Chain A
Amino acid sequence: MESLTLTDVEQKYYSDLFVYCDTDNTKKVASNGKVLDLFRAAQLPSEVVLQITELCGATRLGHFGRSQFYIALKLIAVAQSGLPLRVESLNSVKDLPLPRFVVAKNEQEARHTAMYPDLENQGPYQGVIPRPPGRGQVKKVSAHEVIQPCVPTPDTTSPVVSPHQSPPTSPHAWRKHKRQASGGNVERPAVVVAGAVWTPFREAQSGPVVVGDGMWSAHSPPPVQESWVSLKDTYPPSSSKMPPMHLSPVQENSSIRTVASVTTANEIQRQSSSSYDDPWKITDEQRQYYINQFKTIQPDLNGFIPGSAAKEFFTKSKLPILELSHIWELSDFDKDGALTLDEFCAAFHLVVARKNGYDLPEKLPESLMPKLIDLDDSAEVPDQAPDVGYSGSPVEVTPNKSPMPSLNQTWPDLNQGNEQWETFSERSSSSQTLTQFDSNIAPADPDTAIVHPVPIRMTPSKIHMQEMELKRTGSDHTHPTSPLMAKPPELSEETKLATSMKFVTANSGDGYSSSDSYTSDQDPITSVVTRQRSKGGGCPPPPPPRPNASHSRSSSLDMNRNFAAHPAGPQQSGVVACPPAIPPRPLPTQTSGPHSGHRSDEGLAAHSTTSPQQIPEQPNFADFSQFQAFAASDQPSDNGEKHPESLPVEKSTEGAGPLRTVKIDNQEERAAATVNSAKGSIMAPPPKPVRRRLKSEDELQDETLPPKSNVIATVLATLPSIPRSVGKDKKAIQASIRRNKETNTVLARLNSELQQQLKDLLEERISLEVQLEQLRPFSHL
């Protein structure tokens, strides 16, 4: 017998085919019938087939042994390449494409039934396959089952091989369950070498050949899992053997699998109408599993897993660091060094796929992208198909997105499919950028804002609610304290981000509302700010995400109305937010103010300090200038004087309109007046945030920073204009006034201390820079 050297790919392919033909499972002799069918499927003239059988020695032996079979396959490949059939060509031909087999439909069916018994044999292997990706499972099965002789470890699977490795069982499984038009997908894994035979089957089946369970839908993973699951039912749940990729308990997997079987069956039936499979789609059970894993690292499902924790976790999967690095690159969608739940699921899915031998895609598959994107896009991931499907065997049947009506259309459809995929991939890549915005809105972690110019809303709903509450409860200064206190960090963060856009002056409510109003305008600024903020590193934590995505500029008025009611409003920290040009203000000091119960004062102070640097981008800017005029003219005097001023301010603070609606006590009015007077030249801070503060503070920063009070003053001015007097008791008003005054003084003191600190720090910095200059010549030596 001629010696035969096979490449790894060929080896695997031939092994699969051999097993396929080896219905008796003797591993030595292939039945003639199957083999002949196979050869017929090679679409070679019969005399060539005869010649091949002669050459390989089968005629001598009367049956096909493994070596004969391999030789025959190789000769088929030679013949299909158009080369003359020679024994010498067996080893001399390099880079011979794998033999292609095309099978007719009926043959498939026949084979299905014939193969069914083979499924039994392969049942036990299923357990070995880790559950998560259906494809992976399929692959694993094949790896274990068919490719016994030459099974490459999943991790070492060559790119060519991995897609090709379709477990013999899978075709069986498919046939057993259903041949769907989606043939492509299911079969993408099947496209393996061994799948060469089956892929044609599948192709053929793509036609509406629904057999058996009809479980097979366009989804390859679910169907595959399905098949596995169903097979698993028949066989002892070897699922427990699943190699624990991570800490997950095996039992969990098996239990999930059983559940999955039911669900996937339903899912498959449901999805039978979909025309293509998505091999990267995460099924529900998989997702649940991933979520559980996520929880073990990060209990908060909306939180992030930091890079280091993720690194440890995924390192346990024993994948090479290079691949893990690539997986990270793919799954860290927003490039922030941390994984959200979606990113984590995607990464986990990729790790599982890789462990099962699937190649990593070059780009993140659509179905693995963060959920904010339209994940249910049934379009198959284009790059997937090329990566996985086409790597190698010409027989490779790339999964077709569209059902293949008939066998005849198999090849042309494939080609079309490729193009479609490519276009999809382009689209998906472009859509990535689009979707990033959405993805940033949802995540709670403000870090995501670092990368994307996402307009961050300063209107957390809970703050809103609180403000509403405060509003309703009247002008009790102390009341808002608690909610406000709780919110200062958020406010400060949010305001920080919003500063550039909105001159948010620490008024949480106002800040938020104003930020809302300016959101649309400020997006670029926000992004810049956020970028700077994030780059700054030392900046206080960015504001929390905005829950109210629906607020628009027009609705900001409503927000303002709500916010205006709050006397103390979450102003304080908002002001602390640093405008891009200003180094971050030490938040804690700022936030400590609120604890004293005088957030508003603090907020105002911060507000005033930051306001000058805020970029006047808002449409209301013109209004602010009015405010400025006001502020300049303000005199720290009694509130009464402010009323006239407030009127014009009122106009500008139409955003502050809501403020008016806020229940404004006399004290508020007074506060507004005083603030107005006190504030000097505050530039353009949004009146809304100021408003709130004005409410609570009477004389806020009269002594502190006149500029700060500018906006506040204007806002306050608006307050008086509002005929709010809810009829508060004079005593209550006076009491609140007193409280406000105290708060004011405390904040003012705080402010001056901070100013002093700032000066000291600046001096230190200058000295350090000088030292650096001196040392620099030595640093480069």
Chain B
Amino acid sequence: MAVCIAVIAKENYPLYIRSVPVQNELKFHYTVHTSLDVVEEKISAVGKAMADQRELYLGLLYPTEDYKVYPSHMIIVYYTPVCIFFLLIENILLYRHTRYGYVTNSKVKFVIVVDSSNTSLRDNEIRSMFRKLHNSFTDVMCNPFYNPGDTIQSKAFDSMVSAMMVQAS
């Protein structure tokens, strides 16, 4: 059910971002970026540095939020009046996206944005998605040809992410 999956490095730059509705990619980038603050806040709140998955999973970062609201405000600035009309139409669509966060011991963050217009996924499902992400990410890390900090270009990782996103949409 994911519409966007992002892997963010420790220094808060993205290692991998992929979203399903390609046209809204920028929006998702914004979404993920804003959610990073929430992630940071949650990390500091945890306090311990345990390698326990319970603590790695940050859970719902935002309550259901209308992602359309935020970006549309920005876009209006740049669009001509003709486009504003189009944007208004966009606002009518109430997409709600929920974001879930997950941080590893090495401060690599995973963010999953799901479309909550469908039936919400159970927490366990989200956790399993994160687990799969983490495992795939570990496999990518194990690859000696992968330099930490590079964008992730592994086909296996891509296919795993696609599977997760396709299943959603």
Given that A322-B153, A326-B154 are contacting pairs, would A780 and B145 also be in contact in the complex, using a CB cutoff of 8 Å? no
Given that A325-B153, A325-B154 are contacting pairs, would A310 and B142 also be in contact in the complex, using a CB cutoff of 8 Å? no
Q: Is the CB of B153 within 8 A of A335?
A: no
Q: Is the CB of B145 within 8 A of A325?
A: yes
Write out the residue numbers on chain A whose beta carbons fall within 8 Å of the beta carbon of B24.
none
- Interface presence of A329 (CB below 8 A): yes
* Residues 760-781 of A at the B interface (beta carbon under 8 Å): 769, 772-773, 776-777, 780
Central interface residue in B48, B144, B146, by most chain A CB within 10 Å: B144
Q: Is the CB of B145 within 8 A of A336?
A: no
Q: Is the CB of A329 within 8 A of B144?
A: no
Give the Cβ gap from A679 to chain B, nearest Cβ, in Å: 34
Write out the residue numbers on chain A whose beta carbons fall within 8 Å of the beta carbon of B153.
322, 325
* Residues 28-49 of B at the A interface (beta carbon under 8 Å): 40, 43-44, 47-49
Complex CA gap A469/B159 in Å reads 54
Complex CA gap A773/B146 in Å reads 33
Q: Is the CB of B43 within 8 A of A308?
A: no
- Digit string of A287-321 for contact with B (CB within 8 Å is 1, else 0)? 00000000000000000000110110011000001
Given that A335-B139, A772-B49 are contacting pairs, would A328 and B144 also be in contact in the complex, using a CB cutoff of 8 Å? yes
Write out the residue numbers on chain B whose beta carbons fall within 8 Å of the beta carbon of A335.
138-139, 142
Give the Cβ gap from A539 to chain B, nearest Cβ, in Å: 13
Q: Is the CB of B144 within 8 A of A337?
A: yes
Contact of A311 among B44, B144, B154 (CB under 8 A): B144
- Interface presence of A731 (CB below 8 A): no
Contact of B155 among A308, A314, A362 (CB under 8 A): A362
Chain B interface, number of residues (Cβ within 8 angstroms): 19
- B147's nearest neighbour on chain A, judged by CB, is A321
- B46's nearest neighbour on chain A, judged by CB, is A776
Chain A interface, number of residues (Cβ within 8 angstroms): 25
Complex CA gap A329/B136 in Å reads 11
Q: Is the CB of B43 within 8 A of A328?
A: no
- Digit string of B127-157 for contact with A (CB within 8 Å is 1, else 0)? 0000000000011001111100000011110
- A339's nearest neighbour on chain B, judged by CB, is B144
Write out the residue numbers on chain B whose beta carbons fall within 8 Å of the beta carbon of A776.
44, 47
Write out the residue numbers on chain B whose beta carbons fall within 8 Å of the beta carbon of A324.
145
Write out the residue numbers on chain A whose beta carbons fall within 8 Å of the beta carbon of B48.
769
Write out the residue numbers on chain A whose beta carbons fall within 8 Å of the beta carbon of B144.
307-308, 310-311, 328, 337
Complex CA gap A122/B68 in Å reads 65
Give the Cβ gap from A155 to chain B, nearest Cβ, in Å: 16
Write out the residue numbers on chain A whose beta carbons fall within 8 Å of the beta carbon of B77.
none
- Interface presence of A332 (CB below 8 A): yes
Q: Is the CB of A780 within 8 A of B143?
A: no
Q: Is the CB of A780 within 8 A of B43?
A: yes
Give the Cβ gap from B37 to chain A, nearest Cβ, in Å: 10
Given that A329-B155, A776-B44, A780-B44 are contacting pairs, would A321 and B142 also be in contact in the complex, using a CB cutoff of 8 Å? no
Given that A322-B153, A362-B155, A780-B40 are contacting pairs, would A328 and B47 also be in contact in the complex, using a CB cutoff of 8 Å? no
Q: Is the CB of B154 within 8 A of A329?
A: yes
- Interface presence of A535 (CB below 8 A): yes
Write out the residue numbers on chain B whose beta carbons fall within 8 Å of the beta carbon of A362.
155, 159
Q: Is the CB of B44 within 8 A of A337?
A: no
Give the Cβ gap from B116 to chain A, nearest Cβ, in Å: 28
Q: Is the CB of B142 within 8 A of A777?
A: no
Write out the residue numbers on chain A whose beta carbons fall within 8 Å of the beta carbon of B44.
776-777, 780
Write out the residue numbers on chain B whose beta carbons fall within 8 Å of the beta carbon of A322.
153
Contact of A773 among B43, B47, B154 (CB under 8 A): B47
Complex CA gap A314/B156 in Å reads 20
Complex CA gap A474/B153 in Å reads 62
Contact of A535 among B49, B51, B139 (CB under 8 A): B51
23 A-B interface contacts by CB (under 8 A): A307-B142, A307-B143, A307-B144, A308-B144, A310-B144, A311-B144, A311-B145, A314-B145, A315-B145, A324-B145, A326-B154, A328-B144, A329-B139, A329-B143, A329-B155, A332-B142, A335-B139, A336-B142, A337-B142, A362-B159, A769-B48, A773-B47, A777-B44
Name 6 extra pairs, CB < 8 A, besides A321-B145, A325-B153.
A311-B145, A328-B144, A329-B155, A336-B142, A776-B44, A776-B47
Chain A residues with a Cβ under 8 A of chain B = 307-308, 310-311, 314-315, 321-322, 324-326, 328-329, 332, 335-337, 362, 535, 769, 772-773, 776-777, 780
